[in-house]
A and B are shown apart, each in its own frame.
Chain A
Amino acid sequence: MNMAMTMHVDIVSAEIEIFSGTVTELYAPAEMGEVGIMPRHAPLLSTMKPGEVRVVDQHGDTQSFFVNGGILEVQPHVVTILSDTAVRAADLDEAAALEAKAKAEAAMADKKTDYDFARAKVELMEAMAQLETINKLRKRK
Chain B
Amino acid sequence: MAGAKEIRSKIGSVKNTQKITKAMEMVAASKMRKAQDRMRAARPYAEKINNVLAHLSQAHPEYKHPYLSEREQVKRVGYIVVSTDRGLCGGLNTNMFKAAVVDMAEWDAKDVEVDVCAIGKKSVGFFSRFKATVVAQASNLGDTPSMEELIGAVKVMLDAYDEGRIDRLYLVSNDFVNTMTQEANVHQLVPVKGIMDEELTHHWDYIYEPESKPIIDGLMLRFIESQVYRSVVENIACEMSARMMAMKSATDNAGDIIKELQTIYNKARQAAITQEISEIVSGAAAVS
Contact = CB atoms under 8 A, between A and B. Distances in A.
A45 interface: yes
B241 interface: no
A12 B44 contact: yes
A136 interface: no
Contact of A104 (B94, B102, B137, B159): B137
Residue in B139, B207, B225, B229 with the greatest tally of chain A CB atoms within 10 Å: B207
A35 to B, nearest CB: 8
B108 A117 contact: yes
A44 B209 contact: yes
A15 B146 contact: yes
A13 B218 contact: no
A59 interface: no
B118 A104 contact: yes
Interface stretch (B16-24, B46-54, B64-72, B279-287): B46-54
B114 A15 contact: no
Given A93-B155, A108-B128, A12 B135 contact: no
Interface in B140-167: 146-148, 151-153, 155-156, 159
Interface residues of B, number: 69
What does DSSP make chain A's interface, helix, strand, loop or mixed?
Answer: mixed
A96 interface: yes
B253 interface: yes
10 tightest A-B CB contacts, nearest first: A96-B152, A100-B152, A46-B209, A97-B155, A100-B136, A45-B206, A86-B148, A100-B153, A104-B137, A85-B147
Interface of B: 38, 41-42, 44-46, 48-49, 51-52, 55-56, 59, 90-91, 94, 97-98, 101-102, 104-105, 108, 113-114, 117-118, 124, 126, 128, 130-139, 146-148, 151-153, 155-156, 159, 204-210, 212, 214-215, 218-219, 222, 225-226, 229-230, 249, 253, 256
Interface of A: 10, 12-17, 20, 30-32, 42-47, 70-71, 73, 80, 82, 84-86, 88, 93-101, 103-104, 107-108, 111-117, 119-121, 124, 127-128, 131, 138, 141
13 contacts: A10-B48, A14-B46, A16-B42, A17-B41, A31-B209, A71-B52, A80-B48, A97-B151, A100-B136, A100-B155, A101-B136, A113-B113, A120-B97
